[in-house]
Amino acid sequence: MNFVSHLECSLTGERYPAGQVLGVSEAGKPLLVRYDTERLGEAVQKAEIAGRRGGLWRYWEFLPVSRTRNRLDLGELVTPLIRLENDPSGELWVKDEGRLPTGSFKARGLAVAVAMAAELGITHLAMPSNGNAGAALAAYATRAGIKATVFCPADTPEVNLREIAYQGADVYRVDGLINDCGRIVGAGKEAVGWFDLSTLREPYRIEGKKTMGLELAEQFDWQLPDAIFYPTGGGTGLIGMWKAFAELEAIGWIGSKRPKMFAVQSEGCAPIVRAYLEGKEFADPWEDAYTIAAGIRVPVALGDFLILRAVRESGGAALEVSETDIGECQAEVASGHGLLLCPEGAATYAAYRQARLSGLIDGGSRVVLFNCATGLKYPLPEMTATFDPETPNAYARFLSD
Ligand SMILES: *Cc1c(COP(=O)(O)O)cnc(C)c1O
């Protein structure tokens, strides 16, 4: 059973029936799942959820998957909020999504999207990926017994490419960026018959990502934080959390107060920031995109207008950070706080610092940064020290003066 009432075009509001295989709307825009919030609100209580174990499936009433047996389980969990201590200004928390299966929050979206694909009888999934989404797809598709094909930019981190292949998907390097890979998936739809699982080109990955918002609300005892910094590529997570908050308000679990939503991008690929600054509703494609933070190297986002809307309505902002800042912040948090962020996560820390300096965030605010993947998936700075106990006075170096 589920509480879905229908699907809706995110631009025009046009309605579509639930329970069918759907990609984008007639207008070519993302479809959003709508729920019968009255029935949903009557069906479940906060206390009931608090008593459940596991991760995102704890919130199954808020998800589109009907049958319990279709829920895919690789040991999802409620990801921890880690306080960055020594910070005198309010509360600064990192929500560490790197603890999820396959080491990134792409697991949330793919767990739900692949479960829905299984429920709808889809047998072959295809996707463009900068690495983490492909890895999550590979794992969950294998779990569900569904074939998966992934196209990655040739310079995708090696560990991701190998992880995708090792977990049972077909993966190919492509000379181009993620939008070029997306075109290949689109073009192959007719010839091969695979289903396109690109970001926001199907309605269910966002439902999985939405659970970040549900978790946050629950972790803060149904009081939302003052600000959220989100490393923004396709923007699924940011749009998803915004949707989660609306649904929680609709069933009366939270009020109308919302966190300021900050969409964070790198100076090397900042289409959303540029559109935000120019006051535009849609973002122009970013040319020659580059950034060490592979997950946010997304030159074109289908949900651009939804990201921009959420950012503006929330009173937040779209912020760009330099590549240098990303590296420095990653090093600072690793060596100063003992927490290894991925570069995308480090970008949110850099943006937070910027926002504090410029007054976008008041001291005393309760702020959440998203670390979206484990830092272990990325190359780390070289370590060159060696130790030979046979050298004369070998231990002298350890004596402090
Ligand atoms: C995919 C990804 C992002 C961007 O997420 P979106 O919701 O698509 O904007 C950020 N960081 C990492 C590590 C990612 O894998």
Predicted confidence (pLDDT) per residue in 129-177, tens digit: 999 999 999 999 999 999 999 999 999 989 999 999 999 999 999 999 9
Residue 128, ligand 1, Cβ within 6 A: no
pLDDT value of position 400 = 77
Pocket test for ligand 1, best of 95, 100, 104 (most atoms within 8 A of CB): 104
Question: Distance of alpha carbon 233 from its chain centroid, rounded?
Answer: 8
How much is the mean pLDDT over the chain? 96
Domain presence at residue 1: no
Residue 235, ligand 1, Cβ within 6 A: yes
Residue 237, ligand 1, Cβ within 6 A: yes
Residue 160, ligand 1, Cβ within 6 A: no
Q: Please count the structural domains in the chain.
A: 1
Q: What one-letter code names the amino acid at 263? A: A
Ligand 1 centroid to Cα of residue 173, in Å, is: 19
In this predicted model, what pLDDT tens digit does every residue of 338-380 receive, in sequence order?
Answer: 999 999 999 999 999 999 999 999 888 999 999 999 999 998 9
Rounded percentage of the chain residues whose pLDDT exceeds 90: 96
Residue 348, ligand 1, Cβ within 6 A: no
In what helix (H) or strand (E) does residue 174 lie, and over which residues does it extend?
Answer: strand 170-174
Domain presence at residue 140: no
Residue 132, ligand 1, Cβ within 6 A: yes
Closest residue CA from atom 5 of ligand 1: 233
Q: Looking at residue 234, which CATH number applies to its domain?
A: 3.40.50.1100
In this predicted model, what pLDDT tens digit does every residue of 371-386 receive, in sequence order?
Answer: 999 999 998 999 999 9
Ligand 1 centroid to Cα of residue 42, in Å, is: 34
pLDDT grade, residue 266 (50/70/90)?
very high
Domain presence at residue 364: yes
Q: Which residue has the tokens 């170096």?
A: 397
Q: What is the DSSP letter of 373?
A: B
Residue span of the structural domain in which 90 resides: 81-101+205-377
Could you tell me which of 272, 187, 242, 205 has the C-alpha nearest to residue 64?
205
Closest residue CA from atom 1 of ligand 1: 295
Residue 219 has pLDDT above 70, yes or no: yes
Could you tell me which of 260, 366, 268, 390 has the C-alpha nearest to residue 313?
260
Residue 98, ligand 1, Cβ within 6 A: no
In this predicted model, what pLDDT tens digit does every residue of 389-399 receive, in sequence order?
Answer: 999 999 998 99
Residue 343 CA: nearest ligand 1 atom is: 13
* 311 touches 241 (CB < 8 A): no
Rounded percentage of the chain residues whose pLDDT exceeds 70: 99
Q: What number is the average pLDDT over the span 91-116? A: 97
Domain presence at residue 371: yes
Q: Which residues of 162-186 are buried (b: 16+ CB within 10 A; e: fewer)?
A: ebbbebebebeebebbbbebbeebe
pLDDT value of position 401 = 65
Domain presence at residue 324: yes
Domain presence at residue 97: yes
11-14, long-range: CB within 8 Å, 24+ apart, which pairs? 11/305
Residue 268 has pLDDT above 80, yes or no: yes
Give the integer Cα–Cα distance in Å for 74 and 106: 13
Residues in the chain: 401
Closest residue CA from atom 10 of ligand 1: 295
pLDDT grade, residue 90 (50/70/90)?
confident
pLDDT value of position 238 = 98
Give the integer Cα–Cα distance in Å for 338 and 156: 27
Residue 330, ligand 1, Cβ within 6 A: no
Closest residue CA from atom 2 of ligand 1: 295
Domain presence at residue 192: no
Task: List the helix and strand counts (H, then E) for the chain.
Answer: 12, 13
Closest residue CA from atom 8 of ligand 1: 234
| Helix/strand/coil (H/E/C) assignment for every residue in 196-231 | ECCCCCCCCHHHHHHHHHHHHHHHCCCCCCCEEEEE
φ and ψ at 129, to 5 degrees? Answer: -155, 145
Neighbours of 67 (CB within 10 A): 11
pLDDT value of position 309 = 98
Residue 345, ligand 1, Cβ within 6 A: no
Residue 87 has pLDDT above 70, yes or no: no
pLDDT value of position 189 = 94
Full-model pTM = 0.96
Q: What is the CA radius of gyration of the chain?
A: 21
**Which residues fall within 8 angstroms of residue 293, CB to CB, at 6 or more apart?**
231, 266, 326, 342, 343, 344, 346, 347
Residue 372, ligand 1, Cβ within 6 A: yes
Closest residue CA from atom 4 of ligand 1: 233
In this predicted model, what pLDDT tens digit does every residue of 5-56 receive, in sequence order?
Answer: 999 999 999 999 999 999 999 999 999 999 999 999 999 999 999 999 999 9
Ligand 1 centroid to Cα of residue 231, in Å, is: 6
* 231 touches 348 (CB < 8 A): yes
3-state helix, strand, coil in the chain (%, to 5): 40, 15, 40
Domain presence at residue 232: yes
Residue 262 has pLDDT above 70, yes or no: yes
In this predicted model, what pLDDT tens digit does every residue of 299-320 receive, in sequence order?
Answer: 999 999 999 999 999 999 999 9
Ligand 1 centroid to Cα of residue 189, in Å, is: 24
